[in-house]
Amino acid sequence: MIFCHIFSSHCEVVRHFFSYSFAHSAPNTCVRDFKWVISTVPLFFSNFAARTPKLSAQQTMKKTILALVFAMLVGLSSCLEFEHSYRVVAPGIWRGELTLHAGAPEIHRRRDAALSQRAERGDIVLPFLFEVFNPAPDSVYIEIINGKERIPVREVSHRQNPETKRQVLSLHFPVYDTYIEAEVDGGKMDGFWYVPSRGNYKIPFSARLGKVHRFEDLRQQPVMDISGLWQARFGSGDDGFEAVGVFQQEGNQVHGTFMTNTGDFRFLAGHIQGDRLALSTFDGSHAFLFEAKIRSVDSTMTGAFYSGSHYQTTWEARKDPSARLDDPESQVRYDPNRPVRLRLPRPDGDTLDIENTDLAGRPKIIQIMGTWCPNCRDEGVFLAEYLRAHPDLPVEIFGVAFEKSGDPAKAFPRIKQYRRALHAPYPIAFGGKAERKRIFEVFPQLDNFVAYPTMLFLDAQNRIVAVHTGFNGPATPAYTAFKTHFGDLVKKLTAGALKPQNSDK
């Protein structure tokens, strides 16, 4: 670097800054974006301080300030010399917000000490982060960030608002039939998240460029380390359900999820400030927000859970290293003596006939699923990967989709899009509308049905020999064990050694 001769005593700092900046920049961005450089300062300082422990705090600050002043001058001069490399929306990290409720909803008017202070803060806002990339000046690619997960949003379009002359950005989530539409005004966006399958359902959306904190950018000392397992319960009475929280905490930052008997809440991210926990996730299908007050004296939490703007309930949890859920293969009872008989339409024009000669005499795995279900998608990804890793598997795998609409004209395109997105090497038939009564019409062998997804394991005579309810996926510690267990089930199934364990006969 030629300027090291001028700033010889600070060359290492400058080198650290540029290497850190480019390592954390999106494609087609550089240090010449002055606003981006400003947003990089706090991140760089903490990074450089950690990499130069021998320097005192005063020395580190002095060297950092001198180097950053130099870098920002270079950045500003470059901005004046060249045009921006984008025309639609600025690249970099954005902080999005979904306003779930304007003002405190009913749940916060209850006399719950853990929630009373939150009610005074007004709007209930779900934050999430996303990164914007510009593969070309007129194109946009986005990744939603939920902790360790990045969700690609490839279907991004834009148009000009004829009244304001600003760009209107549309983020489409075709697998879930939802989308965000927002007007871009420099470093901010404002619009709505739409869910057409729920009718006139929309949630206000806004975003700001350069804000890298998910919740408040504070550093209050956490009252305890919540890392580990927590036995939890959501709601009360017949509407309540058990869960296991699993968290990893680093300083104020928290990642993790809740596992339930039907599946997990996928990748959650958030923080602890003092005795307050906040976690959120947004994946295009679901918008989940969890808040809680922590009692370090007895390692318990009490809080609120929001799913979009349509559902909210309370929850409580106690730290418990032995926390557990029900056995996923003991929740559904079935008749093992009544063979499954299916004849269902497929979006490709064929018919799934389980008694077809091509399928006769072979064990089978049926995935009961819906394209609208994120846990089904996680399970579908797993099945697709398993089949690709075992191309000669002597087991037939196929899905039966129960959709929000019972109309094949609406359901078939969704199923086709779902298969393309997952690169699923197995067929998916249309079972009908996602209603419990329809499940039992298609599968009268089942005495009860608990959740999407559910896998049915059939022997060579099409009799059910095992049922696996729900799916706790890659966001959970149960996922690794499940992959091993699934392989063992398949081996037993192909060997004819898998016997009914939870039948009603």
348 and 318 part of one domain: no
What is the mean predicted confidence (pLDDT) over 256-284? 96
The answer to whether residue 337 is domain-embedded is no
68 and 97 part of one domain: no
pLDDT-derived band of residue 384, with 50, 70 and 90 as boundaries? very high
**Is the peptide bond preceding residue 174 cis, with omega within 30 degrees of 0?**
no
CATH of the domain at 487: 3.40.30.10
172 and 234 part of one domain: yes
The answer to whether the beta carbons of residues 375 and 263 sit under 8 Å apart is: yes
The answer to whether residue 99 is domain-embedded is yes
Note the pLDDT of residue 143: 97
70 and 183 part of one domain: no
CATH of the domain at 308: 2.40.128.120
pTM over 0.85: no
pLDDT-derived band of residue 85, with 50, 70 and 90 as boundaries? low
Which range is most confident: 1-10, 144-153, 351-360?
144-153
279 and 404 part of one domain: no
Residue-wise pLDDT for 405-459, tens only, equals 999 999 999 999 999 988 999 999 999 999 999 999 999 999 999 999 999 999 9
pLDDT above 70 covers what percent of the chain?
A: 78
Instruction: Using the 3D structure, point to which of 325, 358, 384 is the last residue of a domain.
Output: 325
Note the pLDDT of residue 10: 44
Residue-wise pLDDT for 104-144, tens only, equals 555 444 434 444 334 445 789 999 999 999 998 889 999 99
When mean pLDDT is compared across 14-28, 136-150, 193-207, the lowest value belongs to: 14-28
What is the mean predicted confidence (pLDDT) over 59-64? 59
| pLDDT tops 60 at residue 23 | no
The answer to whether residue 370 is domain-embedded is yes
Which tokens belong to 352? 């799934």
The answer to whether the beta carbons of residues 429 and 398 sit under 8 Å apart is: yes
Q: What is the mean pLDDT of the chain?
A: 84
The answer to whether residue 34 is domain-embedded is yes
pLDDT-derived band of residue 306, with 50, 70 and 90 as boundaries? very high
Residue-wise pLDDT for 268-277, tens only, equals 999 999 999 9
| pLDDT tops 90 at residue 99 | yes
Provide the domain count of the chain: 3
User: Which amino acid is present at 173?
Assistant: F
Count of Cβ atoms closer than 10 Å to residue 73 Cβ: 12
| pLDDT tops 90 at residue 55 | no
Note the pLDDT of residue 71: 53
Note the pLDDT of residue 323: 96
7 and 33 part of one domain: yes
**Residue-range definition of the domain harbouring residue 368:** 343-494
The answer to whether residue 505 is domain-embedded is no
92 and 35 part of one domain: no
